[in-house]
Amino acid sequence: MEQAKELSTAINAAKEAGKILLNNLESESVIKVKDRQDVATNADLASEKEIIEIIESEFPGHNILSEESKPKEKGSEVTWIIDPLDGTKNYFRKIPLFTVSIALAKKKKLFWA
């Protein structure tokens, strides 16, 4: 039963993050240059924040590993792995080929991505 709740939470978080990405697509700007080939946008950070808030509201004791922020290591055997905007280059160029990626690992076994 817990796995169904986790999947439902991931789907909800991805949908809410996707709304943020779509709402900001036309007005996006780079706010952080990670290296020559990698940037972060306002939407990256807003999407990540929404995903983390949703996951932590349902599973406050789980670890979170996300692309745009420091890992939240809570000593759990469960870790959420998040890319809040997979396809940032396309997104920034206003090419609608991007996604929200959320995976779950339990005892280092990946469940979905």
Distances (CA, A) of 9 to 44, 59, 71, 102: 19, 9, 19, 10
Instruction: Report pLDDT for 41.
Output: 78
Instruction: Report pLDDT for 32.
Output: 56
pTM above 0.85, yes or no: yes
Q: Where are the domains of the chain?
A: 2-112
Instruction: Report pLDDT for 12.
Output: 98
For residue 85, give the 3-state DSSP assignment. strand
Tokens of 57: 């509201």
Residue matched to tokens 């280092």: 108
Q: Which CATH class is domain 2-112?
A: alpha beta
Q: Is 55 exposed, middle or buried (0-12, 13-18, 19+ CB in 10 A)?
A: buried
Q: Which residues of the chain have pLDDT under 50?
A: none
Instruction: Report pLDDT for 71.
Output: 94
